Structure 1
């Protein structure tokens, strides 16, 4: 990622432009920003669920914790985080596979699995008896 700050809005517009002109790597950066946003939302929800003392329940402390959570989320997303970026890359077909690997995956997914009808019927009947 180009930016080290969660609050750098200029980097978001740069990412938007880079993705629109299909620069390589721009999609991964967008996915990392999304993962950082998701992690930040998780951290905010965890903070709300925590019992707080009056000593540390000031506006300044809340602002500090919010900024800290955003930076932690950004760093977690950069370092792999929860793995959402990789999952989304795989789902969107953005990961770097060569064509033969993609073709093999598609061919395997179209094959039917072996099916033993008598075993399936006996399992089904045994479920009917136990229910």
Structure 2
């Protein structure tokens, strides 16, 4: 009887704590909101239709955009936070 050894393949991803993932994603969204807000402050021209209502709706749209960008995970900030908080930061 021969023993079959498994072929070494890619390492299985460790289980991710859903709460940690959610918090990391929320932090990324907050970071992106701040970044978008800073870009908005660099006004190059006066807003002809500016009002407090327009500003409020623009802020809500920016927040929604930041949430969507964070959910896509393209920036990698949430993944870095997850690794750091899970103790897998690899820092030396």
Q: Same fold (TM over 0.5)?
A: yes
Partner residue, 2:26: 33
Paired residue for 1:42? Answer: 35
How far does the alpha carbon of each residue in 1:83-102 deviate from its partner, in whole angstroms, 9 at most, with x for none?
1011111222367xxxxxxx
SS of residue paired to 1:57: coil
Partner residue in 1 for 2:13: none
TM-score by length of 2: 0.70
* CA RMSD of superposed structures (Å): 2.0
Distance 2:75 2:18 in 1: 19
After the TM superposition, which segments of 4 or more aligned residues of structure 1 sit over 4 Å from their partners?
none
Q: Distance in 2 between matches of 1:63 and 1:49?
A: 17
> Which residue of structure 1 lines up, in the alignment, with residue 67 of structure 2?
74
| Larger helix percent | 1
Which blocks of at least 5 consecutive residues in structure 1 are unaligned? 1-23, 96-104, 110-131
Q: Structure 1 length as normaliser, TM-score? A: 0.50
- 1:63 counterpart SS class: helix
Separation in 2, partners of 1:68, 1:43: 11
The higher radius of gyration belongs to 1
Structure with the larger RCO, 1 or 2 (CA within 8 Å, 6+ apart)? 2
Does 1:88 pair with 2:81? Answer: yes
